[in-house]
Amino acid sequence: MTLVLCGCGAHMQGQPLSPQRGRAVFSASCAACHTLTGRDSRARGGDLAIAKLSAADIASFVRVMPVHLSPAEVDAVAAYVHAAARTRP
């Protein structure tokens, strides 16, 4: 129910890993099932900001979700979710 990040220093197509890119991928590929509010939103995939997982743990979960993301997209989503969860109470 979470996403995972591996290689926080990874680059996407020659560009640094970007939370903005992760936000776009999350919105397009993950937001139908998951939220990032930091509270129980009753989303069918759960709220990913509740668990407070590491980016690496988040990336591991992303890889087994029923969406097909490139390794760079997995890393970007994991970085975004991790950053978003850290800002939630």
* 45-68: average pLDDT: 91
In a domain, 22, yes or no: yes
Quote the number of domains for the chain: 1
In a domain, 28, yes or no: yes
Domain that holds residue 45: 16-86
How far apart, in whole angstroms, are the C-alpha atoms of residue 34 and residue 43? 6
In a domain, 2, yes or no: no
How far apart, in whole angstroms, are the C-alpha atoms of residue 88 and residue 20? 17
The answer, yes or no, to whether residue 67 has pLDDT greater than 80, is yes
In a domain, 40, yes or no: yes
The answer, yes or no, to whether residue 10 has pLDDT greater than 50, is no
How far apart, in whole angstroms, are the C-alpha atoms of residue 66 and residue 34? 12
* 7-16: average pLDDT: 42
In a domain, 6, yes or no: no
Number of CB atoms found within 10 A of residue 79's CB = 24
Mean residue pLDDT of the chain comes to 81
What are 15's strand-pairing partners?
A: 12
In a domain, 4, yes or no: no
* 5-23: average pLDDT: 56
Distance of CA 81 to the CA centre of its chain: 4
In a domain, 62, yes or no: yes
In a domain, 7, yes or no: no
pTM of the shown model: 0.75
Copy the structure tokens of residue 15. Answer: 């560009």
* 62-84: average pLDDT: 94
